[in-house]
Structure 1
Amino acid sequence: MTDTPVALSERETAELVARLVAADLDLPEGQRVDHDTPFTDLGLDSAGVLAVAGELSDALGVEVPPEWLFDHATVAALARHLAAEARTSGGADG
C-alpha cells in the first residue's frame, strides 16, 4: 500500500478495477471486462477476489476489504463505492 491515498475519479477507478479483474482472469490483451456483469459471472473466484482486493489496496493506498467485491459485485458498483469512500475521507471527486 502507498503512504498516501491515490485520488482517482469514479471512471478512472472503474478502469483500474476492470484492468485488475481482467489480469486476474488472464483475459487476452484488449478484451474488456463488462462494468455491469457480476464478478462471479465473469469467473472471478474467491482467490481472485482476495487478489484483486489486495491489488486495489496497493494501487489506491487504502484498505479495500475483499467483502466489498461481494457487496458491490460489479466493476461499476465497486467503483461507485470506492469513489464515495474517497470523497468521505477527503479524496478525489467522483
Structure 2
Amino acid sequence: MQFNAQNYQIIKQSCLQKQDITFFAPNEFTCFANDEAPTAWTAYPPALLTNEAYAQVFFHAGNDARGTLTKLELTIHLDGGRILYRKKDDEHVELQVTFLKK
C-alpha cells in the first residue's frame, strides 16, 4: 500500500490500533530523501527526546506529505511501535510497522 492521501487514513488507523502494517512511500517523504535506503530491513529509531522536544518536532514538521509521515513515525515510536525501512525501488522506501503483542 502506498503512503498517499487516499491511503493515509487506513495506514494511520492501523497504526493507532497497533496493528502491524507494511507500506511504501516516495524517498523524498522519508529520511532517505538525500541518502540511499538500506537493502535489508533496518531500524532507524528516533533519538530519545524530552516530551517538549517531541512537541517541537510535531509543531515544526508541517502538514505536507513529509511532515505527515514524520508525525506518524513519531506517533508509532511513542506508542511502542517499531519501524523497519528498506529500499523498494529507486524511488520508494518500504516501511514495516510492528507492535509487541500482549
Q: Note whether the superposition's TM-score is higher than 0.5.
A: no
Larger radius of gyration: 2
Q: Which one has a larger percent strand, Structure 1 or Structure 2?
A: 2
TM-score w.r.t. structure 2 length?
0.30
- What TM-score does the superposition give when structure 1 sets the normalisation length? 0.32
Higher share in helix:
1
